[in-house]
Amino acid sequence: MRILAVDYGDQRTGIAVSDPTGRIAGDAFVIREWDAGRLAEKIAGECAARGVEKIVLGNPVNMDGTAGPRCEKARAFGALLREATGLEVVMWDERRTTVEAHGILTANDRHGKRRKETVDAVAAALILEGYLGGH
């Protein structure tokens, strides 16, 4: 089962897609779109083109485990994704994924604009790897 992970952002959204077996993270990229409805439609197109059967959406809970305003925004986007794709959308705790993504990029000498262009895709891959290894 191919699974797509989403690191939802206001301007850039990271996307990562598993291999066909749903065991390892594969392709990761960024979609630039600020309108949530259009973003959901673009993700729906990626799902259809890649044969995705499930979506994992990063849930940005606070470090203490409480839900903040970003959680509500992510849940609302999850509803848009369900409507646009007809697929199951699993909310996944994404705490520290962006911090880890920055660490990975620093270790690989990615700075400045190159980092900004890549960090969301890396965060989506970390969300996907966490889901694949933890469910």
Task: For residue 99, give the H/E element and its range.
Answer: helix 97-107
Question: What's the domain range around 111?
Answer: 2-134
Query: In this structure, what CATH number is given to the domain that contains residue 126?
Result: 3.30.420.140
Q: Helices (H) and strands (E) in the chain — how many of each?
A: 4, 5
CA 33 to chain centroid, in Å, comes to 14
| Domains contained in the chain, number | 1
Assign residue 86 a region: left if phi > 0, alpha if psi is -120 to 50, beta otherwise? left
From first to last of its 135 residues, the chain has per-residue pLDDT tens of: 999 999 999 999 999 999 998 899 889 999 999 999 999 999 999 999 999 999 999 998 877 878 888 889 999 999 999 999 999 999 998 866 665 655 665 666 665 666 566 878 888 999 999 899 876
Any idea what DSSP says for residue 19?
-
Its pTM stands at: 0.86
